[in-house]
Amino acid sequence: MDGILLVDKPVGITSNDLVMKIKKILKKKVGHTGTLDYAASGLMILTVGKATRLTEYFQGLDKEYITTGELGKITSTYDSQGEILEEKECDISEEELRSIILSFQKTYPQMPPKYSSKRIGGKRAYQLAKKGLEVELKPKEVSIYSIQILKIDIPFFTIKVECSSGTYIRSLVKEIGDEAGCGAYVKELRRTKIDDFSVEDAIPFEQLINMRKEEIQELIIPIEKALKNFEEIVLDPGFDKRFLNGQRFRIPKELPVRTFVKVFSDEGKFLGIGRIKEGNILQPEKVFK
């Protein structure tokens, strides 16, 4: 079956290693729609089979994380995997810390960590950083939609963050520490949601690798159900071949320009992804013959 698989990644494995192990079991093409740090756990959306062609449609989705930061320590990677570069006394009240944390509910230019997957001249930033080379990163505008303070027990604080794609929680925690005057690093990090997909519906990786291929296939969400935010279009008889051959044509259903749509034949077969152009023209983007 082609579709997506929701996996609960544990701490202590890279996203790529996780993908390779599942690929070996399924003996099908498998990809991921966004990495999680080695020291982080939580939800990953894997694309399986033909769905690997749709990875781009899952990459820009909003995320939710729960993280615990520790004040007073600054590490090279902004998390527990890095070398402690500096330790400082942190003289701050709970009320002051709450105010600082909540002040980050905003849209602002965020600087990614040096140890990140950002590409610089064809190389990943972390690859350059590991070699001791200078890493010149540029800030990226991110949006922190909400921050819920779950617990404060100085020097530790635990928060739930809803944010835009591309937000680095490691950077956020460090920035909170910088505002507090003593630095901070991520002690624990867990991704709990990607758009409407929840880690509560994901299969723990440790359980997954002990399952048979047939059992895992039953957990795969079909492509047409996975793209739940897309509009649906059912073509009139005879238009399915035109769509599958990459032809553009006008459709009767009025939709905004640039809207992505799931396209079905009149018999209910999923044909692929299209995009609406000027004049209500349907442009095939990804077809599944």
Cβ atoms within 10 Å, residue 147: 19
Torsion of CA 167, 171, 176, 180, to 10 degrees: -160
**CA 271 → CA 28, 235, 285, distances in Å?**
21, 10, 11
Whole-angstrom Cα distance, residue 73 to residue 89?
9
Catalytic annotation on 37? yes
Catalytic residue among 2, 37, 79, 240: 37
**How buried is residue 242: exposed, middle or buried, by Cβ count under 10 Å (0-12/13-18/19+)?**
middle
Whole-angstrom Cα distance, residue 71 to residue 75?
11
Q: Would you name the residues annotated as active-site residues?
A: 37
